[in-house]
Structure 1
Amino acid sequence: MMSLGLLIIRLVIGMTFAGHGTQKLFGWFGGYGLKGTGQWLESIGMKPGYFMALMAGLSEVVGGLLFAAGIYTWVGALLIVFTMLVAIVKVHGANGFWVTSNGIEYNVMLMAVAIGVALIGPGAYVL
């Protein structure tokens, strides 16, 4: 049963995280693509914006897919944690904890799940 629980956690977190990356890279799921995301990143001081959007999008897609698949789960978790730390420092940290104030709540939850699964292991159901 634990492996099934880990599979559910990995799939939901990993695929959601990868989906966020496709918003940045391709504009899927209501995202702004590299150009739009890059412009926004430049507006908050992350330059060059296009390159930073590419790196963020790749980190999210690769990290999410590795995490979901249970392949190199610790690498996927590390990419998730690093991306969320950047989001906290550059965007959410000044807004407090709760997501209703654009705070760090969501970021911290993702980091906790990623670290927890990395420490436990991916379970038996992996690619």
Structure 2
Amino acid sequence: MTHNPPPVPPKFPPLDQWPILTGPDCPGCQTDAPGDVVWIGTANDLDTGDKVHLWTCRACCTDFTTPVTHWPINDGPDCPYCLTSVTCWATFAPNYLGDLWNCEHWHEFVLTPEGVIVLPKDAA
């Protein structure tokens, strides 16, 4: 009899939904250590019905969700520092419930769902 081991579940959502090689920071313990935050799968949000990604943190056992977003976004915001239009989505920013963006000059800023830009100096 041939042994067929079960398939290994993916570590991250599909590439068009999660284009980076690390999971989001845990909102419970703020860890960003590789391998601590693990993708479980997708589900529907109970309140809105929207698709979300389910994550769990191995460090503190917190379960949390992030919205399902399809990337790449070709019309990202201009950099508030140098005003370049060459920006790239970096990751979700759970502390601000928004997205962290980088520009070609490595400036970082957060864009909230309401369209508000939060600079790191303003976050302190």
| TM-score, with length taken from structure 2 | 0.26
More relative contact order, 1 or 2 (CA 8 Å, 6+ apart): 1
Q: Larger strand proportion, structure 1 or 2?
A: 2
Between structure 1 and structure 2, the one with the greater Rg is: 2
